[in-house]
Amino acid sequence: MVLISNNVCGNYLWGLDFVISEGSKYGLRLILSLVNNWNDFGGKKQYVKWAEEGGHYMIKEDDFFSHHVVKQYYKNHVKVKRAYMSIGLRTLRNGWEKSLHIYVKSIDGKHILEVGLEGFDGETMPERKTYNPGYSIGTDFISNNQIPETDFATIHLYPEIWLKGSSGEAQATFVDKWVQIHSQDSNYV
């Protein structure tokens, strides 16, 4: 059993081994998210909450990306999931820095790693920020996917959320352009 935080132990992942084992029987590969930027399934907010419960002062949810205690909780979580994984793909979420990519690869070079970004463009190619759907959350699709330890890139599409109130035709046009732009971006990563 591995201590993830002062309050959470790693034996909670026992069911994951079963899911992975069953998937492998049918030739399925899984993409397992190691953390989510958003609050679904806990997300980065959960790690910050564990740190606060452990007596550490946190300012905001984004302390997940910089506070040494929270980073250690994340590393502990990765170790636990690593122990339970027999197949699958590794996913880091939303702009983790290079040091954590290196960390994940240092404990598990067998699985492939991706960042898991929506695909928002940033300062690497600022002229492409015009394609972002009105969001600016501090990510940069190209630079985050240029980290050598990153094995492949993905994009996410949420046109019904990003373009709320737009027609189905406008959303479909956006989807086509989003895929086209990121196909071009793949030449830079």
Give per-residue pLDDT as tens, 13-47: 667 778 878 888 998 877 777 777 777 767 888 88
- For position 88, what pLDDT does the model report? 40
Residue 54 lies in a domain: yes
pTM of the model: 0.69
The number of beta carbons lying within 10 Å of the beta carbon of residue 72 is 14
Residue 178 lies in a domain: no
3-state secondary structure of 31: strand
- For position 86, what pLDDT does the model report? 42
Give the largest CA-CA distance in the chain.
51
Burial (Cβ within 10 Å: 0-12, 13-18, ≥19) of residue 169: exposed
Per the structure, the complete domain to which residue 75 belongs is given by 10-114
3-state secondary structure of 114: strand
Total tally of structural domains belonging to the chain: 1
